[in-house]
Amino acid sequence: MDYGQLKHLHMTLALLSFSGFALRSIGLMAGATWAAGRPAKILPHLIDTALLVSALWLLAKLDWVLLSQPWLIAKLVGLLGYILCGMLALRFARNNSQRLLASLGATACFAYILAAAVTKSPLPFL
């Protein structure tokens, strides 16, 4: 697989990951039973694993060392924030207000990751 195809795969998986998170968050807030079902809990892990593999493959293909690129470190920090907020929204929130706040935090983290990737800067909004 060439770089362009791999980059498109990575971007597609990132979009699928965020879309799945957003749909599940909305479903949980609406009380939809599918959002708490087994497929809704397992599929994101499969997509996110493929996303991580594609990220590592991109790093290997470009011979980049993660710590040598500040914007990659920024994306990693943003990813940790996204995961934390996602866990709060999907597992630990006790009501819809908490779920909404955590979901907005996850969305902000995703937007930061996207901006850092596009600008190749750890401070993409400056």
List the chain pLDDT tens, one digit each, 126 residues.
899 999 999 999 999 999 999 999 999 999 999 999 999 999 999 999 999 999 999 888 888 776 788 998 899 999 999 999 999 999 999 999 999 999 999 999 999 999 999 999 999 988
pLDDT given for residue 67 in this prediction: 73
Amino acid at 95: N
Torsion of CA 74, 76, 81, 87, to 10 degrees: 170
Burial class (CB in 10 A: 0-12, 13-18, 19+), 15: middle
Amino acid at 118: V
Amino acid at 22: A
Confirm whether pTM is higher than 0.85: yes
DSSP 21-39: HHHHHHHHHHT-GGGGSHH
Nearest to 50 by CA among 11, 100, 86, 101: 11
Crossing angle for the helix pair 3-30 and 38-61, to the nearest 10 degrees: 160
pLDDT given for residue 66 in this prediction: 66
- Could you state, in order of their start, the residue ranges of all structural domains in the chain? 3-119
